[in-house]
Amino acid sequence: MDKVRLGIIGLGNMGSGHIQHLKAGQVPRCELAAVCDIDAAKLKKYPDVKGFTDSAKMIRSGLVDAVLIATPHYFHTTIGIDALNNGLHVLTEKPISVHKADAMRLIAAHEAHPELVFAAMFNQRTDPHYIKIKQLIEQGELGKIQRTNWIITTWFRSEAYYRSGGWRATWGGEGGGVLLNQCPHNLDLFQWLCGMPSAVTAIGGIGKYHDIEVEDDITAMFEYPNGATGVFVTTTGEAPGTNRLEIAGTRGKLVCEGGRLTFTRNEIPADEYSKNTKSSFGVPSVWNIDIPVGGGNGEQHIGIKKNFVAAILDGAKLIAPAEEGLHSVEMANAMLYSMMTGKRIELPLDEKKFEAHLKKLIKSSTFVKKDTVKTEVDFAKSQA
Ligand SMILES: NC(=O)c1ccc[n+]([C@@H]2O[C@H](COP(=O)([O-])OP(=O)(O)OC[C@H]3O[C@@H](n4cnc5c(N)ncnc54)[C@H](O)[C@@H]3O)[C@@H](O)[C@H]2O)c1
């Protein structure tokens, strides 16, 4: 096999963006072999490619080696399982599933077919800033991590956005709000860089800034197994918003904000200084380092697709194995569960309890969506 025949499922904002990349030849050795959407009108935009309104038929057509799933979230699980069970490689959009129990079902389907490549569209893992932070942490430059903090409130969304699709911002259609749609990227990076917390406590708001039935505001506190603490703040209701990641360790502090990565490095690690200094109020001297990071924001969606193709054709290591998508789902579920129950949630999250909680929300929903409106979405700007 010298090229991958890819089928794209879901031809909305993101699916059509992926198609643009393929059509522009930005993903070498990958051919757009088929497209699928339950909305037949969307197939007409691609008259030169075989179209399907049923993903099951595309999966069994023999026309594709792999699928990219860009549908509303619940279908990532069902279509992903169907594709893996039928011998296709799968690249799924984020989140890999709506809730942990579904993510485990999807991962189990891959475990039954380990020969298949199964990746997730965590495009922000290609951003050189985060790659550099990961390197610095792994090399021990920060020492022991003591505190993490991510304020990510640049996900502002309007009422028109929430009305742009019937599935959006509903328990039954999307399964959650800002934690599940916009934040999977940040939560994935957060756990990729700093590891998983062992407990989560959150406050926030359901439909606080928008006419929606899901969360659009969260402030969460994390406890990590090594005793470190963390804070995660997000909303779709604040403008201009902030995107500031700060990680403090015994050897210094890393800050990533506004495209700049800075490292304030302690000349002597803080714990060592504290033990040995005779001074009551002294602090370690620091070096202020602006870490040069070239390459803009990296290859993003194109990079993940290229890596998926290379994994299939050359056995390349995946940038974002889908299995790792379980963590961001679990963190999102735990924060929502804590916020709605007022409880501190220990991880691993009880997936059955959370699934039952979500089912209850779906069943008891009385929310009526206002008219769906057509909006202009620039997927490259939306990033989630
Ligand atoms: N990685 C990113 O940066 C990024 C950016 C935007 C969206 N996304 C993700 O992409 C996915 C789609 O989001 P969107 O904004 O494109 O939504 P959208 O509503 O614009 O498009 C979804 C499309 O899926 C189709 N669809 C629904 N159910 C289907 C089914 N069972 N089979 C086939 N087609 C089906 C709909 O008709 C629609 O055309 C979501 O998972 C979202 O989180 C990722």
Any atom of ligand 1 within 6 Å of the Cβ of 58: no
3-state secondary structure of 162: helix
Position with higher pLDDT, 332 vs 382: 332
Any atom of ligand 1 within 6 Å of the Cβ of 38: yes
Looking at residue 381, what is its pLDDT? 52
- 0.75 exceeded by the pTM? yes
> pLDDT tens digits, residue range 212-236?
999 999 999 999 999 999 999 999 9
Topology of domain 128-295+328-364 in CATH is: Dihydrodipicolinate Reductase; domain 2 (3.30.360)
3-state secondary structure of 240: coil
Looking at residue 372, what is its pLDDT? 64
C-alpha distance across the termini of the chain, in Å: 32
- State mean pLDDT over 151-165: 95
Distance CA 30, CA 50 (A): 16
For ligand 1, atom 6: residue with the closest CA: 384
| Rg from Cα positions in the chain | 22
Angle CA(151)–CA(330)–CA(95) in degrees, nearest 5? 80
pLDDT tier at 199 (50, 70, 90 boundaries)?
very high
Looking at residue 177, what is its pLDDT? 98
- Give the chain's mean pLDDT: 96
58-62, 108-112, 159-163: least confidently modelled range: 159-163
CB burial readout 151-183, b (16+ within 10 A) else e: bbbbbebeeebbbbbebbbbbebbbbbbbbbbb
pLDDT tier at 178 (50, 70, 90 boundaries)?
very high
Looking at residue 382, what is its pLDDT? 53
Instruction: Give 359 Cα–ligand 1 centroid separation in angstroms.
Output: 22
Q: How many other CB atoms are found less than 10 A from the CB of residue 370?
A: 9
pLDDT tier at 379 (50, 70, 90 boundaries)?
very low
Every domain range in the chain assigned CATH 3.40.50.720: 4-124+299-320
pLDDT at 71 over 70: yes
Instruction: Show Cβ contacts of residue 90 under 8 Å, excluding neighbours closer than 6 positions.
Output: 66, 67, 69, 80, 83, 84, 110, 116, 117, 118, 119, 322
Any atom of ligand 1 within 6 Å of the Cβ of 12: yes
For ligand 1, atom 18: residue with the closest CA: 12
Every domain range in the chain assigned CATH 3.30.360.10: 128-295+328-364
Q: Which amino acid is at 368?
A: V
Any atom of ligand 1 within 6 Å of the Cβ of 67: no
Looking at residue 373, what is its pLDDT? 60
Any atom of ligand 1 within 6 Å of the Cβ of 97: no
Question: Which CATH number fits the domain 4-124+299-320, given the four candidates 3.40.50.11720, 3.40.50.720, 3.30.70.141, 2.60.120.430?
Answer: 3.40.50.720
Instruction: Give 71 Cα–ligand 1 centroid separation in angstroms.
Output: 3
Separation of CA 184 from chain center: 3
Instruction: Give 303 Cα–ligand 1 centroid separation in angstroms.
Output: 19
Q: Which atom of ligand 1 is nearest to the CA of 55?
A: 32
Looking at residue 368, what is its pLDDT? 85
- Mutational pocket test of ligand 1: of 36, 44, 71, the residue with most ligand atoms within 8 Å of the beta carbon: 71
For ligand 1, atom 17: residue with the closest CA: 12
pLDDT at 61 over 90: yes
Total H helices, total E strands in the chain: 13, 15
The fraction of the chain above a pLDDT of 70, given in percent, is: 96
> pLDDT tens digits, residue range 13-50?
999 999 999 999 999 999 999 999 999 999 999 999 99
Looking at residue 370, what is its pLDDT? 72
Instruction: Give 167 Cα–ligand 1 centroid separation in angstroms.
Output: 10
The fraction of the chain above a pLDDT of 90, given in percent, is: 94
Instruction: Give 263: exposed, middle or buried? Use CB within 10 Å, 0-12, 13-18, 19+.
Output: buried
> pLDDT tens digits, residue range 252-303?
999 999 999 999 999 999 999 999 999 999 999 999 999 999 989 999 999 9
